Structure 1
Amino acid sequence: MLNEKHYKEIREELDNCKRPLFFFDDDPDGLCSFLLLYRYAKEGKGVVVKSSPELKPIFIKTVENYSPDKIFIVDKPMVSQEFIDAVKVPIIWIDHHNIIKNNGTKYFNSRKDGFGEPASCICYRVVKQDLWIAACGAVGDWHLPDFIKEFSKEYPDLLPTKITKPEKALYETKLGELVRILSFVLKGKTSDVLSCVKILTRIKTPYELLNNESPQANFIIKRFNQIKEEYETMLKKALKNIEDNKILLFTYSNRMSFTGDLSNELLYKFPKKLILVAREKDGEMKCSLRSSGSLSVSNILKKALVEIEGYGGGHEHACGACIKKEDFKRFVENIRKEL
């Protein structure tokens, strides 16, 4: 559990660097965590870490090329010890997934009693600015933080006070629309993603994006609409797949990863089902699993992975997994046995 002492310590780390390098996860919580820190520091470079829950040794080269004086890692559940050992600068790691024992980082994890508030909430408590970005990150991770009342007071048109559930905030409000914009512009080629991220570091208000008030916002919205079209096609296919049982399974092989977005929206539409969305890529099935209520998808996943070539984990109601294609059918059967 983190407190003001920890937030002050992170803030001092930010205040005392001139060339920080930020690694962040490719979802709204990760992106918003980066934006909060970067917009406060006004220095450094951001690197989005796609397709893996772990920050792998492949990123050592990125560090060598940039020569930072400090590294910040946000919203990544795992960091390779090889990476930690190889880089010769201080590492500040901010996360909310399962607590990991590691050597060589300053590690700040909000998790306690099975729950940790999203990384964007931690970063907001550190920088104390850009409330709208923090709200996007939290709601994108299905969480309504204690400062959400302050957000509703400042932006009642984006999040009415009557909204008390994160899924309703995500799919029934203007704030949710903002979250989807941030999520969708993280899809596709890394060069396109980084162009959008760079612009987002300069967007002044949520209305600039929502109302398309500047050339920069227009670039983001144009990109968002392109991705949204592909997403809507995938969602329609998934909705044709509904059967009267406890699991909603949808597999696809599109070039873009919509697994997290699809699984979230399908859970919102079918809260009593276990949702499994899997994307086939390079002989593997990249999965997003969701559940709600008393159904713990993390416990089910743990049992389903026994004698399966693959790995996975996450939160009680939201997990990711990567399964070898040839084992996927058996993996699904294992899940069905647990329901």
Structure 2
Amino acid sequence: MITLKQIHKLIEKSENPLIFYDDDPDGLVSYLLVKKHFDKGNGVAVKGKPMLGTDYLLSVDKYNPDLVIVLDKPIIEQDFVDKVNVPIIWIDHHPIVEIKGVKYYNPRFKDKNDNRCVSHWCYQLTKENMWLAAIGIISDYQKPSFVKTFIKKYPELLKEFKNQKEAMFNTNVGKLIKIFGYSLKGFTKDVNKNIEILSKVKDPNDLLQGRTENTKLLLNRIEKVKKEYDKLLEKAVEENKGKKMVVFVYPSGKYSFSGELSNELMYKFPGKVILVGRRKEGKVMMSLRAPEEKRIKLPPILEKALTGVEGYGGGHDYAVGASIIEDDFDQFFSVIKAEVLK
């Protein structure tokens, strides 16, 4: 496994790195930490699926990088690696996969249970912009190693907490996490404008309160995204009152909110397993969550549910994603429900 020190040297030497990152707050924060520290590189958010595949070779051709960096993606297709003719650095925290031709950093090589998120490791790599790192780490339901220092420096953003869900949904850090998430929604050109603004923010309160022209512009731009999300959240809550398992499947629209909805529904329905799905082009793309305190580990349940259906999925013990064809959804869901409620 490559070390963070070696990664730092490689990025320093690079003149034109290309950075692929997952399209969630952890991925975005990881990218911004690297971008702001090294002051170079083009960024591409990998949307809609857990893998970085050959369809993203167009970005490699477009930017002609001398180094490719991949942040917070669970899978890279071997075919993608084989067709990229420059070094590839992969920083991730999902279960280790076998792959050739990449410089791979994953804490699980040393400890299979160490799933500290990529924002944590990019902060260890760069050692600056603590407020950014806190957003990424807390968004991934983890507690920053520097949390006491952060609270002392930014008491208006976060106070001592025991429950990760409280930090996510009942603090100003939680509001910042939502701003980062909303900024990733929409057309690529709009997302790129949002991220350009985020890359220049130096004080989180400027972003939270819209104290500059650029942050005010960003908050206005994402307001319509927030309204769409709030509408879906209200519908999901109403439909699942009194149910043993929270299930919400919605038609595809302009934005995808499955991950965000599943996280917030966990807060609103404590102790329940959550399944949120989005129907699009004959498929159902899902985000599933399970309460850690009940020790319902999702990967073996997901593996069983995927048997005999057309689709794929994977993730962490208590948070997974999956995509199956719509015709197989009833069969898939019947297995999930039986396993969860038995």
What's the TM-score, normalizing by structure 1? Answer: 0.96
Distance in 1, matches of 2:10 and 2:115, equals 22
Give the letter aligned to residue 154 of structure 1: K
Distance 1:50 1:151 in 2: 31
User: 1:268: which partner in 2?
Assistant: 267
- Which of 161, 167, 173 matches 2:165? 167
Aligned with residue 200 of structure 1, among 185, 198, 221:
198
Deviation at 1:61, TM superposition (A): 1.7
Cα deviation digits, residues 45-86 of structure 1 (max 9, x gap) = 000110010001011121112111111100000011111011
Q: Distance in 2 between matches of 1:94 and 1:114?
A: 16
* Counterparts of 1:218 and 1:150, CA distance in 2: 28
The residue type paired with residue 305 of structure 2 is A
C-alpha distance in structure 2 between counterparts of 1:7 and 1:289, whole Å:
32
Separation of aligned partners in 2, 1:261 and 1:90:
33
Which of 179, 182, 205 is matched with 2:180 structurally?
A: 182
Q: Percent identity?
A: 41
- Provide closer, same or farther for how the CA distance between residues 276 and 115 of structure 1 changes in structure 2, counting only shifts above 3 A: farther
5+ long unaligned stretches in structure 1: none
Amino acid at match of 2:226: K
The equivalent of 1:114 in structure 2 is 113
CA distance in 2, matches of 1:113, 1:249: 31
Q: Which residue of 2 aligns with 1:32?
A: 29
> Equivalences for 1:57-68 in 2 at 5 Å?
57-68=54-65
Whole-angstrom CA distance in 2 between matches of 1:30 and 1:159: 21
Q: Distance in 2 between matches of 1:59 and 1:286?
A: 20
The residue aligned with 2:250 is 252
Q: Indicate the residue corresponding to 1:23 in structure 2.
A: 20
Which letter maps to 2:190?
D
The residue correspondences of 1:108-147 to structure 2 (distance < 5 A) are 108-111=105-108, 112-147=111-146
Q: What does residue 229 of structure 1 align with?
A: 227
Secondary structure of the residue aligned to 2:276 is strand
Deviations 1:252-292 (CA, angstroms, capped at 9, x unpaired): 01331000000000011112111000000111001000011
**Aligned residues, how many?**
335
Separation in structure 1 between the aligned mates of residue 151 and residue 233 of structure 2, nearest angstrom: 30
C-alpha distance in 1, partners of 2:224/2:150? 29
Provide the rounded CA distance (Å) in 1 between the counterparts of 2:192 and 2:81.
Answer: 24
1:90/1:105 contact within 8 Å kept: yes
Secondary structure at the aligned position of 1:240 is classed as helix
- Match of residue 241, structure 1, among 222, 225, 239: 239
Distance (whole Å) between structure 1 residues aligned to residue 303 and residue 159 of structure 2: 38
Q: Which residue identity is paired with 2:131?
A: W
The residue that corresponds to 2:314 in the other structure is 313
Q: Report how far residue 203 of structure 1 moved.
A: 0.9
| Equivalent pair of 1:24/1:30 in contact (CA under 8 Å) | yes
- What displacement does 1:243 show? 4.9
3-state DSSP of counterpart to 2:3: helix
1:53 touches 1:76 (CA, 8 Å); kept in 2?
Answer: yes
CA contact (8 A) 1:246 1:272 kept: no
Q: 1:218 aligns with which of 208, 216, 241?
A: 216
| Structure 1 partner of 2:95 | 98
TM-score (norm 2): 0.95
CA–CA distance in structure 1, aligned partners of residues 210 and 67 of structure 2: 35
2:46 counterpart letter in structure 1: V
Tell me the distance in 2 between the aligned counterparts of 1:214 and 1:244: 44
Q: What's the CA shift for 1:218?
A: 1.1
Q: Which sits farther off after the overlay, 7-16 or 239-248?
A: 239-248
Mapped partners of 2:299, 2:154: distance in 1:
35
Q: Which stretches in structure 2 are left out of the alignment for 5+ residues?
A: none
CA deviation digits over 1:222-277, x for unaligned, max 9? 12221110000000110121154431110101331000000000011112111000
Larger CA deviation: 144-153 vs 313-322: 144-153
Contact 1:72 1:92 in 2 (8 A): yes
CA contact (8 A) 1:152 1:159 kept: yes
**2:146 alignment partner AA:** F
- For 1:9, the equivalent position in structure 2 comes to 6
**Counterpart amino acid of residue 188 in structure 1:** G
SS of equivalent to 1:196: helix
* TM-align CA RMSD: 1.3
CA–CA distance in structure 2, aligned partners of residues 308 and 149 of structure 1: 47
Separation of aligned partners in 2, 1:200 and 1:19: 21
Question: Comparing 114-123 with 44-53, which one deviates more in the overlay?
Answer: 114-123
Match of 1:288 in 2: 287
Tell me how far 1:328 sits from its aligned partner. 0.5
